[in-house]
Amino acid sequence: MAAVEPDTHEVLQGISVGDLDVLETAIGLRELGRDVSGLDGRTFALVKIAALIALDAPPASYAWQIANALEEGATPEDLLGVLRAVAPQVGLPRVVAAAPEIILGLGLSLPEDE
């Protein structure tokens, strides 16, 4: 086993669970590429969510990016619009997999199994 400093271990754990503060300060990814894209903050955030759906990204990625999108003025209806827009390109399985992550990212409860 590698010798890992406690601070390094803490940051890695924060990244793995999508801790927003850790992601913002430790990685600084929020603004990466935004200026050169020419997109406003809301559009940039929605495009990144579309990319997460296409990549079948891990749940922690959604929590962070949805928080960014909402902060930039995106609405829950915008997030639903992203799901609808990318469905023909990425396929139904990826959209179905992303929907619960978006629900949780919005702070809502998942539907119970019937």
Which tens digits make up the pLDDT trace of 71-110?
Answer: 999 999 999 999 999 999 999 999 999 999 999 999 999 8
User: Is 110 contained in some domain?
Assistant: no
Domain of residue 43, CATH code: 1.20.1290
pTM of the model: 0.72
| Closest C-alpha among 55, 67, 35 to residue 98 | 55
How many domains, the chain? 1
Q: Which is more confident, 54 or 2?
A: 54
| Tokens coding 1 | 């086993």
Task: Say how many residues make up the chain.
Answer: 114
Domain that holds residue 46: 6-105
Backbone angles phi, psi at 33, to 5 degrees: 85, -15
Is the predicted pLDDT of residue 25 greater than 80, yes or no? no
106 CB-near residues (< 8 Å, 6+ apart): 66, 70, 76, 79
Other C-beta atoms closer than 10 Å to the C-beta of 70 total 18
Confidence bin at 54 (pLDDT 50/70/90): very high
